Amino acid sequence: MDLSPVRVRFAPSPTGRMHLGSARTALYCYLLARRTGGTFILRIEDTDRKRYVEGAEQELIDGLHWLGLDYDEGPDIGGPYGPYRQTERREIYQKWADELVERGRAFHCFCTPERLEQVRQEQQKNKQNPRYDGTCRDIPLEEARRRAANGEKHVIRFKMPREGQTKAVDVMRGEITWEYSQLDDTVLLKSDGLPTYHLAAMVDDYEMKVTHVIRGSEWLSTFPVHVNVIRALGWPEPVWMHLSVFLKPSGKGKMSKREAAEAVKDGHSIFVMDLKDLGYTPEGVLNWIVLMGWGVAEDDVMSLDDMINRFTTDNLNPSPAAINFAKLDHFNGTHIRLMQADDLAGRIKPFFEREGYRVDNAKLLKIVPLIRERLVTLDDCIPFAGFFFKDDVSPLPQDLLAKDLSPAQSADVARKALAILEALPEISHPSAEPPLRQFVEEAGLHPNQVFGILRVAVTGQKVSPPLFESMEIIGRETVLARIRRAVDMLSGL
């Protein structure tokens, strides 16, 4: 791969939520820019006002920031080629549309939507590809300009050659050839004066000096339109890459809206900001998506810096990738275990707070090493460790019963363990474990019988972090009070 500094843009449309596909496109753009010491641009393609969704741009910006994919130029930070929001660049598109008309490569089309619909139906009936029938292609320019100046409603269409072939190169897919007879006179400027993607993106890539276009493969079908527009204007062509599509976990087709919603109930999502709320880390998500279409070892655990150092477009893979949430869990857990304790503490704290717990930082730092190994998502800290921040716990009496022991026997075990702990000036792992183990042995019990009662008594739950460390964090007085209460509860059974 050529390592000269690139200018590469992530150019989302604010038409919905930021999903994994956009995140991966943004990531590859970012990696290519950083790998080559180039520039990563965010451009908002908001010319489709019908599909515009309020708040979508902010979610994209939040998503990029959360993932750590900081851009060098963009709508909120500016840059030398701004503005970076297409609706703020109208005149620029108008100018280049005029230029294409002037060069005889585009034309005014006055056809009404009703007529176009009729043509479409006719073509469908005759089993032809639906395309513009050419009615306005040959209106003399003077006449067209006069009609337009008189306010007659019109669009500007690209004048696609009618015969021969056109070719373009996608670095992942090689050279692609199209017959002109299959291509349409695509609309470049709509009747409201706003450009379509086909004009706006090409103009902006040129004006913003974009050298590499990394985008989704949904643009492959209109790829020949784009290269023809660029060539008609005599502009340099960027390097093109159309990324693979994401398929649903079964590998059969794309995920539907309903399936996407179902995934959330399962603790997963295809939307970036949902993943944040579900307790995934940017590191885990990035590691997961970077491998969906990049041919390095599947289980490579990489930080963003590692990715930058290793990234190359040479082994990007165009075949569709099935979304595999188990891998996301794997990478998320792995990255959690790689975090420094204070970093992890800072990340799980908001999840405790979301549950209404008041979190003491010093205590939190002690808890982190006890739960780190067991966290798949950050919010797993709640079931494992939420009890640490409760003033009181309320175990179920039945849960206090030790396996194979009656209530009276369980109460007796609890009472004896209590006496052992009461005799200790402080309760810590080294002070509490040896005398309790000795008791287990002398009483001929199974360790789980004794420690199970104590665990439920002290933490209120059957599954918890290691018992002695937990008791140490909870503190002697509270531990003793909770075991006394458990003795009472068992005695009452």
Letter for the amino acid at 358? R
Chain residue whose CB lies nearest ligand GLU: 215
Helical pair 197-207 and 90-102, crossing angle rounded to 10 deg: 100
Letter for the amino acid at 162? R
Least CB distance to ligand GLU at residue 197 (A):
6
What is the spatial distance between Cα 130 and Cα 420, in angstroms, rounded to a whole number? 86
390 is catalytic: no
Alpha helices in 103-138 (DSSP H): 113-125
288 with 342: CB under 8 angstroms? no
Count of other CB atoms within 10 angstroms of residue 186: 22
Nearest residue (CB) to ligand GLU, 11 versus 450? 11
Least CB distance to ligand GLU at residue 229 (A):
13
Least CB distance to ligand GLU at residue 41 (A):
11
Least CB distance to ligand GLU at residue 231 (A):
17
- Contact residues for ligand GLU (CB under 6 A)? 11-13, 45, 197, 201, 215-216, 219
Nearest residue (CB) to ligand GLU, 83 versus 216? 216
Q: What per-residue string of b and e applies to 358-389 under the rule 16 or more CB within 10 Å gives b?
A: ebeeeebebbbebbbebbbbbbbbbebbbbbb
Instruction: Give, in order, the Cα–Cα distances in Å from 52 to each of 19, 41, 100.
Output: 16, 21, 28
Nearest residue (CB) to ligand GLU, 14 versus 465? 14
Nearest residue (CB) to ligand GLU, 69 versus 385? 69
Q: Give all strands (DSSP E) within 249-310, no chain letters.
A: none
∠ Cα 125 131 134 (to 5°): 110
What is the spatial distance between Cα 274 and Cα 271, in angstroms, rounded to a whole number? 5
Least CB distance to ligand GLU at residue 53 (A):
12
Nearest residue (CB) to ligand GLU, 190 versus 349? 190
Nearest residue (CB) to ligand GLU, 220 versus 359? 220
Least CB distance to ligand GLU at residue 257 (A):
17
7 with 212: CB under 8 angstroms? yes
Best CA proximity match to 112, nearest among 194, 197, 191, 193: 191
389 with 381: CB under 8 angstroms? no
Of residues 125, 127, 252, 257, which has the active-site annotation?
Answer: 257
Instruction: Just list the catalytic residues.
Output: 257
